[in-house]
Structure 1
Amino acid sequence: MRDYCPKVRNEPTLLDDVSLSVREYNEHTRVEEGMGRVSKGDNVMSVKNVIKLIADSTSDLPNHWIKQYDIGIVPLYVTLGGQTYKDTLEITTAELYRRVEEEGTIPKTAAPSPADFYRIFEPEISAGKNILYISMSSKVSSTNQNAHIAAREFPAGRVHIVDSMHLSASYALLVIRAARALEAGQPLNEVIGDIENVREKVKIEILVDRLDYLHKGGRVTSLQHLIGNVLKVRPVLNIVKGEVRSVQKYRGKMEKALEPILQKVVSQKNRICPNLVIIGQMLAEKMAERVRSHLLDHIHFKEVAVIEGGCAIGSHTGPNTIAVSYLLKGSV
């Protein structure tokens, strides 16, 4: 059975906004063209230096990870009140929700165009780098497809695209896994194979506080919306084979609804890879920290990171949403 939970070095805490130096090699290295394999040679160059890792803004990666691993971000678009913004660059989640409350309209999202991807890919290709773009799930957006269109403008083997089959916290978990593997000198073909192997073993539990955004986004009917608000129903969403599915509903306050989710995670503690667990939150920092403390009290995780959801994801889930993402060891 393949070990999907390799040992990794200790990472800085989420509160440390740092940019670590690139891993130094003791021997001179060269990189074989195409798949980024490192071997002995005359030039000092790591895999990380010749592979540009790129994700899109639905990964909700915090700035300290983006800087630390030099990850390129392709923003999605968010339209609100007749104006269109680049996700995370031109509008914040807090501003988005403030305007929704004031204006009474739900934002719409759109994928980056092939031209957007070309503008991000081209400078890296011209600089001699190959690209590994890990995309949001192709089942919920044309983002992955548009990246493929842009990739055709470059020589074969220069742009590698992997479908994460995930969103937000679970997507971020896969991107950081790839970033750390590249930093450790793992060949590109092995990194790609690893992400494709483990993506179905990455799980996410998403607890939504309000049905308004799911309703206006077409994920719940008007009747479900009405009844849900009256009964204070809070749905739990999972991502299964790249698609968002409602798997459970709980009544009562968010704190109460979180209990069975935390119990589910803790009950699997012997099956969860302890290297990294990610908690996503939408303007729910205090609740996210309580979830983090609970998990650390019950499971010996090496790292439990808290990230804030961006506007593209937040447009569909609403404020006060909490998500927990983790990787199951071995086969499932």
Structure 2
Amino acid sequence: MIKIITDSTADIDLDYAKELNIDIIPLKVIIDGKEYKDRIDLQPQQFYDLLASSEVLPTTSQPSPQEFLNLYEEAKKAGDSVIVMTLSSTISGTYQSANIAKDLAEYDDIYVIDSLATTQMLRLLVLKAVRLRDSGADVKDIVNILEDYKHKIRIVAFVDTLEYLYKGGRLSKTAATAGTLLKFKPIIGLREGNLEMFAKARGTQKATSKIIDLIHEDGEIDFDEPICIGYTGHDDGLDKFEQTLRDEFGFGEVLHGFVGPVIGTHAGPGARLIAYISK
């Protein structure tokens, strides 16, 4: 058997995780001094309600090595192989916790992958691992494929409000105030594990057009792989965003994802994203 483990930033809810037969280790979210386990004590919608009323930006903390070790020990006892995919090591120490636990487990059949991703990107990597496991692939082959695949996963999003990027120290007050007055929407994404601002545009329509331009510049979407449309806070106007992308690229079915606290803290409510695999 192959045991697949990821963390809660993959934004996979716990019932869905059971269906996929995977384990999810929660990150912790601290809001106004109170600690919650992501998606266990705190569902995404509750998080955005608390975010709106909180004076101070929430913080997150990585899982302890012990939380990984508990699952590793189970696998060791059962003689199972383990594949772990964590959010990008540049964003969090979760990858480090998973590796410390591997050393403590003294079990060779554990493979820890730095996904260089988070939210719907990480979800796409996990879904790939599940498909490969369920097709009967060998653990080492799966790990090799995933290490290659993770470099093809893309995410592009626009942020609806600059307030949270400012609060999180990613924008100066002057830039945030000017941007808000001009209705600027930053277009952000992850590149090799790092959060970057790719561009900015005025208003939702222009921001969506800019996302389309960025996807074209990057190359082609691989339509044989899943595409995910995601959002933070609320899904008002999400169907219009999706339809504009659909009209441009002509893709079929998509997955939908609700972005949880770790990225939601910095993006704030109203962000829209697409995650896909590039050819």
TM-score by length of 1: 0.78
Distance in 1, matches of 2:58 and 2:205, equals 27
- 1:272–1:326 CA contact under 8 A, matched in 2: yes
| Local SS of the residue matching 2:104 | coil
Instruction: Map residues 165-244 of structure 1 onto 2, 5 A cutoff.
Output: 165-244=116-195
Deviation at 1:249, TM superposition (A): 0.7
User: Aligned with 2:42: secondary structure?
Assistant: coil
> Are residues 1:272 and 2:221 paired?
yes
CA distance in structure 2 between the aligned counterparts of 1:209 and 1:217, rounded to whole angstroms: 15
- Residues 1-332 of structure 1 aligned to structure 2 (within 5 Å): 50-63=1-14, 65-252=16-203, 254-265=204-215, 267=216, 271-274=220-223, 275-329=225-279
Structure 2 gap ranges (5+): none
Task: Give the deviation of 1:77 after TM superposition.
Answer: 0.7
Which string of whole-angstrom CA distances, capped at 9 and with x for unpartnered residues, describes residues 38-90 of structure 1? xxxxxxxxxxxx11101101111244641222111111010001100001111
Task: Answer yes or no: is the 8 Å Cα contact 2:188–2:197 preserved in 1.
Answer: yes
The one-letter code matched in structure 1 to 2:221 is I
Q: Distance in 1 between matches of 2:93 and 2:151?
A: 20
**1 CA distance for matches of 2:5 and 2:75?**
10
Contact 1:207 1:236 in 2 (8 A): yes
Query: Could you tell me how far 1:268 is from its partner in structure 2?
Result: 7.2
- The answer to whether the Cα contact below 8 Å between 1:57 and 1:312 also exists between their aligned partners in 2 is no
| Larger Rg computed on CA atoms | 1
Displacement of 1:263 after TM fit? Answer: 4.8
Distance 1:298 1:63 in 2: 33
1:292 maps to a residue whose letter is E
User: Which amino acid in structure 2 is aligned with residue 291 of structure 1?
Assistant: F
Q: Any gaps of 5 or more consecutive residues in structure 1?
A: 1-49
Distance 2:259 2:77 in 1: 32
Summarize the Cα distance change of 1:270–1:326 in structure 2 as closer, same or farther, 3 Å threshold.
same
User: Is the CA contact 2:187–2:200 (under 8 Å) kept in the aligned structure 1?
Assistant: yes
| Aligned-residue offset at 1:319 | 0.6
Q: Tell me the SS of whatever aligns to 1:219.
A: coil
Structure 2 distance, partners of 1:160, 1:130, is 8
TM-aligned CA deviation for residue 222 of structure 1: 1.9
| 8 A contact 1:284–1:322 mirrored in 2 | no
What is the CA–CA distance in structure 2 between the aligned matches of 1:62 and 1:285, rounded to whole Å?
17
The 1-side partners of 2:107 and 2:84 are apart by 14
The alpha-carbon deviation at position 132 of structure 1 amounts to 0.5
CA gap 1:148/1:51 in 2 versus in 1, 3 angstroms: same
- Quick one: which amino acid aligns to residue 244 of structure 1? L
Distance 1:100 1:62 in 2: 20
Q: Name which of structure 1's ranges 300-309 and 191-200 shifts more when overlaid on structure 2.
A: 300-309
Does the CA-based 8 Å contact 2:189-2:198 persist in structure 1? yes
The percentage of counterpart residues that share the same residue type is 29
Does the aligned pair in 2 maintain the 1:91–1:311 contact within 8 Å? no
What is the CA deviation profile of residues 242-281 of structure 1, one whole-angstrom value per residue up to 9, with x for unaligned ones? 10111101112x244223213544x479821112101121
Q: Separation in 2 of the partners of 1:249 and 1:295?
A: 18
